[in-house]
Amino acid sequence: MADPKKPRPAFAPWDRRELPGAFTVEETARRVGAYKWVEMRLFEALGGWVATVPELDVKTRLGTHCYKHAWHAELWHKRLPELREMNPDRLTLPANEHVERFMSAITEPEEPRQTIEKLVGVYRVLIPHKIAAYTYHLNNTSTITDAPTIRSRRLARR
């Protein structure tokens, strides 16, 4: 028989979720702000390329992807006020100067004949890196305290 004076465990024995994650609230807010910044720049870049890319099939796909990244930015924007009691726009910053320079380089090609360079920059470099950053965050966050961040991350995967 169990000791009635002994406190009960916080979680059921079969619940293997961990309470603390690897990130503080401030670090999570900073990361989410950086995610939003990248998604917004990606939305703007793809939307701007629709007018300059001559290939019709690429234009169509860029238009579709452009709005998906706008939706991802909106998901992250909605998550920011929940993380900190501050202005979400002040948290919407690039992660570092390397990311900022890379986004500038991606949006630089303006020639209609540079479609391949644009697509490689986004789909072979930026998006795989973004997925890796999201996955790292997901794998190092608490499933209990950061459930809304995990939900936003899973939705942004689409």
pLDDT by residue (tens digit) across 30-39?
899 999 999 9
Q: Which domain holds residue 144?
A: 25-156
pLDDT for res 144: 75
- For the chain, first and last CA: distance in Å? 50
Query: pLDDT tens across 69-127, in order?
Result: 999 999 999 888 766 666 777 889 999 999 999 999 888 877 778 888 889 999 999 99
**Could you tell me if residue 98 is inside a domain?**
yes
Is residue 30 domain-resident? yes
Mean of the per-residue pLDDT values of the chain? 84
* Separation CA 22–CA 110 (nearest Å): 41
Q: Which domain CATH number covers 87?
A: 1.20.1260
Residue 18, in any domain of the structure: no
Distance between CA atoms of 57 and 44, rounded to whole angstroms?
19
* The dihedral sign for the CA sequence 80, 70, 110, 113: positive
Tell whether 19 is covered by a domain: no
Residue 139 lies in a domain: yes
Contacts with 7 (C-beta within 8 Å, 6 or more apart), sequence order: none
Instruction: Confirm whether 135 is domain-assigned.
Output: yes
Burial of 104 (0-12, 13-18, 19+ CB in 10 A): exposed
Q: Domain tally for the chain? A: 1
Neighbours of 157 (CB within 10 A): 11
Number of H helices, E strands in the chain: 7, 0
